[in-house]
Structure 1
Amino acid sequence: MSRHAFVFPGQGSQAEGMGSDLARESDGAARSYFGAADDILGFGLSRLCFEGTADELLDTSVTQPCVFVTGLAFATALRERGVTPEVVAGHSLGEYTALVSAGVLDWEDALRLVRLRGQLMARVNLRTPGGMAAVLGLPSTTVEDLCARTATSGRVEVANYNSALQTVVSGTAPGLEEFARAAMEAGAERVEPLRTGAPFHSSAMKDIEQEFGDRLDTVEFADPSVPVIANVHAGYVGSGTEARDLLRRQLSSPVQWHRTVELLRAEEVDALVEVGPGRVLTNLNRVTAPAIPAMAVGTVKQLDTAVQRLAPARV
């Protein structure tokens, strides 16, 4: 039996025109999410997905719902064409799309949560400006040590464990500059600033945990109908109650993506399907699990290719 894993990208994967070809060419349920999201949120989210500039898409309060809706639309298009997941996971923001795909969250509730999450994170950045950077070529233990020693210019912390030799850090702008110099001196291949709007998955986000947690408590969480792997501990989500708690903790906890892909490899999935804009996860997945076919589905052309490869044969 096929064991496809759907994995959903987070912020930083946004792209100009995301979802526009699907909305133009699809006549199924996938297309309807964009217009419905406009009505639910009360602004032109679909215009920002289809026509927004790179600068507009840097606003985290906009980027997060745009990436979420695009991923959800392509996941629905895959299902409409007979491709379904046996397990799901999402990177940071993508965990919300994964939870919708697993029946844990209603998509409208998730959309509102994602919008609020982006707004609160943007507010943190106004108060404590910062950002994120990917460190390539150093083991995570070295990155952790460098973070501990970067204190004179501001706090820097590990935000994402993406692969054996790619770790993302969050911090203040001066702290990231000091960290980058130290990382290059320690032998990093490069330190690359990311297109994010705040120091996500760091202690800076502790300030919004209570407010966001209060909103989470008003939303219904069901038990997963499909296995979901969580960012916080790279293990399976056991219940809706646990899913709610993990989303609260996720704000200030590092994303354990490397361990997530290692678990998927151990579970012997036969395809890692990145569903949403970009191919950040596809590139990471090929590093950690090179023997498992990895593909991106963020355009209609990619959708058609994935369906040809993965959909069960029709007799």
Structure 2
Amino acid sequence: MALGYLLGGGVGTEPHGIELHGAYPVMRRLYERIAGWTGLTVGQILEDDLPEPQEERGSVGSIRETALALAVHDILAEQGVHPSVLGGLSLGAMTSSCLAGALTRQELFGLLRSTRRCPDPDPSEPAHALAIAAVPAGQSVAALIGETEGVHVAGDMGDTADRALRIHLLGGLREPLAALAGSLPEGLVTLLPGRGVAQHTPLRAPFRAFVAPYVDAIDFAAPQRPVLSCLDPGRLASGDEVRDLFRRNPTTPISLPYVYEGMREEGVQLGVVVGPAIPAGLLAIPFPVVHVEQPEHIEKVVSSVFELGIEYPETGVGAC
């Protein structure tokens, strides 16, 4: 039996983990180190309002999300709990690679902080947006979008728990995306408020080009534990494959089923979910999961691991 860590993606716009930070010294020590690596304050990482400029906001928000995932890992490690398999969506895939030893924590946070230097879009250019598409079973998201120019499929989140819907992430230009949502029955396509970056679509090509030299400067290693890709089916087996994921992530659609089906094939019997990008109880994940946001959730993970008799090699990867 194996334990999987399933990390969410996206920008951490809302504060999470404040109670965990107060309860666990290991998390407080980690946040002090991250502050030293990034030049941010602990308050900026944990709970302060995010800055307004788009790429600065994305940089701080991604650091916030990554810090929480590493903190949960470290808190559980103190309790003797370690992941057998790791994977995640977008930023969560990059964080999983770090926890598996493919790059250091300082390298990951240095990369995330460097993205603030990417020029923001020209205000005269068309605005971008993200939306959720809830596609009825038996229908395709491609048919839903049709020939709508400027709208792209940015991700596949899988089936809902009742198998009635397939959830997809759409990204593109705000105007045609809003027009598409307005032309369909209510609830089929819903724009996400405050999401003005069309992640995982061709519209992020300028960001991908900007960040490429920073990615190429990192000496990636082969993961020391299994890491599932969210861009393609299967494991990331080498440093070059991890680098490829980092390079392609801004413009390539993501797939949660790639991650959880890969974990199922690796024998995962319990998943630890970190980050709000994977809502509790909504999706048909093929093994039980525990969402960790509060101190009592840590206790639930620890008790569940020992009740199930999950065993895993203790390699020491993922430490500060």
Query: TM-score scaled to structure 2, two decimals?
Result: 0.84
SS for the counterpart of 2:268 is coil
Which runs of structure 2 are paired with 1:160-239 in the superposition (5 Å)? Answer: 160-164=155-159, 165-182=166-183, 184-185=184-185, 189=188, 191-193=190-192, 195-239=194-238
Could you tell me which runs of 5 or more consecutive residues in structure 2 were left unpaired when the two chains were aligned. 160-165, 310-320
Shift of 1:83: 1.2
Match of 1:308 in 2: 303
**Cα distance in structure 1, aligned partners of 2:156 and 2:116:** 21
**Cα distance in structure 2, aligned partners of 1:128 and 1:240:** 37
Q: Is the 8 A contact 2:228 2:258 kept in 1?
A: no
Per-residue CA shift, 1:182-208, capped at 9, x if unaligned?
4x34x8545241553411000011123
Distance 1:8 1:250, change over 3 A: same
User: Are 1:48 and 2:47 matched, yes or no?
Assistant: no
For 1:83, the aligned partner's letter is V
CA RMSD of aligned residues (A): 2.6
Per-residue CA shift, 1:15-67, capped at 9, x if unaligned?
32x22222222123x321211122211122x2134332488798322211110
Which runs of structure 2 are paired with 1:127-166 in the superposition (5 Å)? Answer: 129-138=127-136, 142-151=140-149, 155-164=150-159, 165-166=166-167
Distance 1:68 1:197, change over 3 A: farther
**Cα distance in structure 2, aligned partners of 1:128 and 1:61:** 22
Bigger helix fraction: 1
Shift of 1:71: 0.8
**Cα distance in structure 2, aligned partners of 1:106 and 1:133:** 33
**Cα distance in structure 2, aligned partners of 1:134 and 1:239:** 33
Q: Percent identity?
A: 22
Match of 2:314 in 1: none
**Cα distance in structure 2, aligned partners of 1:110 and 1:209:** 16
Match of 1:78 in 2: 76
User: Are 1:7 and 2:2 matched, yes or no?
Assistant: no
For 2:70, the aligned partner's letter is L
**Cα distance in structure 1, aligned partners of 2:238 and 2:187:** 40
Shift of 1:222: 1.0
Match of 2:315 in 1: none
Shift of 1:105: 1.2
Q: Is the 8 A contact 1:156 1:176 kept in 2?
A: yes
Match of 1:240 in 2: 239
Shift of 1:251: 1.1
Distance 1:31 1:89, change over 3 A: same
For 2:260, the aligned partner's letter is V
For 1:52, the aligned partner's letter is D
Match of 2:28 in 1: 31
Distance 1:213 1:71, change over 3 A: same
SS for the counterpart of 1:150 is coil
Shift of 1:12: 5.3
Per-residue CA shift, 1:220-272, capped at 9, x if unaligned?
21111000111210321010111101210111000011232222223331111
SS for the counterpart of 2:140 is helix
Query: Number of matched residues?
Result: 299
**Cα distance in structure 2, aligned partners of 1:81 and 1:4:** 14
**Cα distance in structure 2, aligned partners of 1:141 and 1:240:** 38
**Cα distance in structure 1, aligned partners of 2:138 and 2:115:** 27
